[in-house]
Amino acid sequence: MKLAIVQNWDESFGYYDNETNLVYGCNEHNLNKFISYLKKKKFITYSWERDEDGIEQTVFDFIKLFNYLNNVQTRVPVGDSKKFKINIIKKYNFSNRDFCSINISFEYFIKKCKKYYFQKLNYYKSPKSIIYRQQYGQFSFKFNNV
């Protein structure tokens, strides 16, 4: 698993005619099929993996690079397909390009944790709970799993 800056593949990234001929034949319909297939894929712009020696860049440098790419994108708008995202990925190679599959289960877990702690902190910070704590000495938090 790696951390990567990911975006959807676009025709502006390029493709070779001989790739499409080898895979699908030389029909125009097959070329459109190949391009529509690639548009569904997530393209790795830059990936980062932790280096044990600490020689490579740090996570902070990686995040600065991500912010820089997003700032350049906002100055020169190019469309929604070029939107950059940071994800935890599993990398694979297709047609001599690096693509990835996103770890959706981990993102779902993080979303659930954020929701849980958001509810928990709101409960503890509410004046009603603070008064209850002063009177009875303990909280009685119950998570609303909706």
Residue 26 has which token pair? 């030389």
pLDDT for residue 18 is more than 60 = no
In the chain, the N- to C-terminal Cα span, in Å, equals 30
> How far is residue 53's CA from residue 120's CA, in Å, rounded to a whole number?
39
In the predicted model, what is the mean pLDDT of the chain? 77
pLDDT in tens, 41-94: 888 888 887 766 655 567 788 888 888 888 876 666 555 546 888 888 888 887
Considering only CA atoms, which of 97, 71, 96 is closest in space to residue 84? 71
What residue ranges do the domains of the chain occupy?
Answer: 2-102
SS3 87: strand
